[in-house]
Amino acid sequence: MPLKRTIYILLISLTMIMACGDSSDGPSAYGPIRLHFRYVDAPSHPSVFDAEPAEQTGLEKSDRLVTDQVLLLHCEDDSLYIAEDASIYGNDFYLNEVSRDTSASPALKNAFGFNGDNSYGLAEYDGGGKSVLNGTHGLEISFYMYLRDAEAYYEQRIFDCHDSLGGYTIGTNYGHLFFSVRQNGATVQVSGATRLLPQTWYLVTARFDQTNLSLTLDGKAEGSVSITGPITASSRAAVLGAGWNGDLIAYGFAGRLDEISVRTTVDYIDFDLIRLAVIDLSEFATQNEFYNSTSWRSYWAELETSLADTSKIPTWESYMDMWSRHFDVLTEQNLNLSGAFAQGTIRGVEGMNLLAVVGIQKGVITYTGQGFVAVIGSEVTDAHLELWPWEHGL
């Protein structure tokens, strides 16, 4: 049975430092690198999220749970088309006809304005991905909201991540809040007791902890219902300021939203060790030049031979031996593990570097990935990697 998909963003806030040999002044520091990983269960590239299997609800021995903030939208973006996620998960939202308006207080600056008709945000899933937003094992969503109209008797959806079998929805109906989740197509819902006033700011929090659904309004309990077990994962993207009606986006919200936060309890692969190597590619001007080189072709042929030999156990040592026969491996290091995350300091060279990363369990490589980092001066550099099961190669 393959391992499950996991927390997608694994490694953050690294620093690339130039290897200076015998320089008496010590290494020269370059700008920070934000290095993002996501784990993939099957070789479905390039449409990884389109082909991602449904999330399982049971945990395997190699999996653990961790709770983290997986979305934070401050709603202050200058762009009319993208809402940038301020959490480390990169769950940005595409915006359609979303305006900027004043928020609940000067300190919060701008809020998103929704017209109740054709304005909404749609999760793009280029960063954290839908598994972390699914909230299968636990969920807390909070936001500031402001209803525009007094005649808010029809259903409006604020945050919707559901399909016919699973997921969750938060919205208003007849002027009251509601929070619903689905377990294999069956809906469990809690409704708020307070009749919401128009043109009034409220702080809303909805929680799911596998035993209860609850709503609070400005810190006061609005209602709760009992629930048993996890919710079923949704196959659809999350929608902000509207909701899914079949395959269409409908149930538009007329009002403002601000400071939208989602915390979920997600499952991740519990690696014993994360190892990283930096490989010097500074002799190559572009990635295409690297991939067309004799050295790369020789390495790839050796890797394919190794993958085909099922009697060979993939270890870090054998993996690095393959790289070293064809390229200059600058550094090898362990990354510090803390729950679902790993972090450390990368040492490399100015110019192009290749990062080779593996996840190790019981001394054996189970996941592997690689990515390029071109470091110039002190600019912040982003590197995005996918970790694949070892048997699928790179």
Pairing of strands 186-191, 167-173: unpaired
Domain segments of the chain as ranges: 14-62+272-392, 65-268
Residue 246 CB neighbours (<10 A): 8
Place of tokens 């749609």: 122
Burial of 380 (0-12, 13-18, 19+ CB in 10 A): exposed
Q: Measured between alpha carbons, how far is residue 241 from residues 77, 109, 123, 146, 302 in Å? A: 16, 19, 12, 12, 52
Give residues with Cβ within 8 angstroms of 224, minimum separation 6: 190, 212, 213, 214, 215
Provide the terminal-to-terminal Cα distance of the chain, rounded to the nearest Å.
20
Q: Reduce the secondary structure of 298-315 to three states and give it as a string.
A: HHHHHHHHHHHCCCCCCC
CA–CA gap between residue 113 and residue 95 (Å, rounded): 11
Q: What is the CATH number of domain 65-268?
A: 2.60.120.200
Tens place of pLDDT for every residue, the chain, 394 residues?
233 333 333 443 344 444 433 333 433 444 445 555 555 443 332 222 222 223 333 434 345 677 888 899 999 888 889 999 988 777 899 999 999 999 999 889 899 999 999 999 999 864 334 567 888 889 999 999 999 986 666 899 999 999 999 999 999 998 999 999 999 999 999 999 999 999 999 999 999 998 999 999 999 999 999 999 999 989 899 999 999 999 999 999 999 999 999 998 876 677 888 898 989 998 999 999 999 999 999 999 999 998 888 888 999 999 999 999 999 998 898 887 766 667 677 767 778 889 898 888 889 998 888 888 877 766 656 666 777 788 765 5
Q: Do 75 and 85 contact (CB within 8 A), yes or no? A: no
| Gyration radius from the chain CA atoms | 24
CA–CA gap between residue 294 and residue 233 (Å, rounded): 45
171 closest CA partner among 271, 223, 258, 240:
240
- Burial string for 112-139 (b: 16+ CB within 10 Å, else e) reads bbbbbeebbbbbbbebbbbbbbbbbbbb
Q: Do 179 and 172 contact (CB within 8 A), yes or no? A: no
pTM score: 0.69
